[in-house]
Copies of this chain bind each other. A is one copy, B any other.
C-alpha cells in the first residue's frame, strides 16, 4: 500500500502515486496548465495518512531530533523506504548519499532587535548557502528512485546552484536554465558544480518556459519550482526544523520572502502537517514579503485577480512576473490570517545593511526582504515588538556581491607609514 497520494490544489481531484509517477506527471492530469507568463494551474499536493503517522511517531521523539534529521521519519516523505528495528533505509539511496543530504540544515538563532526578542532562521548556511537545498535534496533523491539520470531546473540562481551542488554530491547530471543577468556568485556555483548551464536571453519567466519545453523533449526530470510538487514538499522541512529548534513553541509571525511563492507554500504545508498530526493547535501568521517592483502576490490578494507585469528589483531571487505558485501562496497567507506586503529596493538594502551590522548575518537582497517587511510592519499596529516574530533568511550575501557593492565602495590602500600618520600613531 502507498503511504501517500496526490491531490490537485485547483480541482481537488485525488490521484494515486502510480497515476502520477508512472508516467511522470508534474501537474494535475485533469486540469493542469503551464502557460507562458501565468501562474500554474493544477499544482499537486502530497498527502500522507496522518492518523497512522501520528500513531507511529511520538511528538516528543520528533522534538528530540536535531534539525536536518527529519529524514529519519520517511513516513513523511514521498520516497520508497523500509524500516527495520528503528533503522531507516531509503530505497536505492546509499549511506554516502544520505550522509550528504542530511547536512541540509541551518541554525535558528534567538536574537534581539532594539531590545526585543527576534528569531532568525539563518537558512543561508545550507550546503549551497540557500534555502533551496531543501527542495533540491528531496527532488534529487526522488530522481534516483525514479531511475532518471538527468535533472533540470529553471532558476533565478539559487535553485539552480542548489540543484547543481546537490546533484554533484549524489553523482547525477544537472541542466540549469537561468536569465542572462544572474549574479556572478550563483553563476559560478552552477558552473563549478559541473552542471550544464544555459544562459537565456530575457528574464526568469523566459528561462522557466524554455526549461519546461527542453526537459520534456529530452526526458530530464524537471525540478522547476511549483511545477514539480516535490519542490513544495522538500521545503516543508523548514517548518519541521523550526518546530524542532523551538522545541514545539512556534512564533506568532513568520516573515517569508516571496517570488514564485513556493517557499511560503512549503512552510505552510509543513505547518499544516504538524496540525494534522495534532502537534500544534494554531498556525503562526505567514507574512509574504515581496519587492515592490515584483509584487504579483500582493496585488493578487488585494484585487483577487492576477495581472502579469514585467518586474524590476535588486532582489533577483524574488523576481517573478508570474509567480508559478501564486494560488497556493495566497492560500498560505489567508489560511494563517497572514498578510502580503511590498518593500522597496531601498528598504531591502537598508535591511541587508542592518542585518550585517547588527546580527552579523550577511544575506542577499531577497533574504533581506523578510527583515524589511518586519521593519515595515513594526511601524504599524499589525506586529508589535513584543510579538514573537521569525525572519526567514533564504540566501547568503556572498551569492550576490554586486548588491553589497552598492553600499560598500572600494577603499583606498595606504602604506604602513601612511596609515600611522592617518591614525595619528607616531
Contact = CB atoms under 8 A, between A and B. Distances in A.
B165 A360 contact: yes
Contact of A362 (B189, B356, B418): B189
5 contacts: A66-B66, A103-B107, A192-B362, A192-B404, A200-B419
Interface in A376-421: 396-399, 401, 404-405, 407-408, 410-416, 418-420
B111 A192 contact: no
Contacts of A66: 66
A194 interface: yes
B103 A168 contact: no
Contact of A398 (B109, B125, B185, B360): B185
A218 to B, nearest CB: 7
Interface in A206-245: 206, 209-210, 213-214, 217-218
A36 B425 CA distance: 18
A401 B184 CA distance: 8
A197 to B, nearest CB: 6
Copies in the complex: 2
Contact of A199 (B185, B199, B209, B412): B412
Contact of A356 (B125, B194, B197, B418): B194
Interface string A38-66: 00000000000000000000000000001
A180 interface: yes
A100 B109 contact: yes
Interface of A: 66, 95-96, 99-100, 103, 105, 107, 109-112, 122, 125, 127-129, 165-170, 180, 184-185, 187-189, 191-194, 197-202, 206, 209-210, 213-214, 217-218, 353, 356-362, 396-399, 401, 404-405, 407-408, 410-416, 418-420, 423, 425-426
A210 B357 contact: no
B353 A192 contact: yes
A42 to B, nearest CB: 23
A229 B418 CA distance: 29
B109 A423 contact: no
Given A188-B397, A188-B405, A192-B407, 19 more contacts: A96-B110, A103-B122, A125-B125, A127-B361, A128-B362, A168-B358, A168-B359, A180-B413, A188-B408, A191-B404, A192-B404, A193-B362, A197-B411, A200-B415, A200-B419, A210-B420, A213-B425, A214-B423, A217-B425
Contacts of A415: 200-202
A389 to B, nearest CB: 15
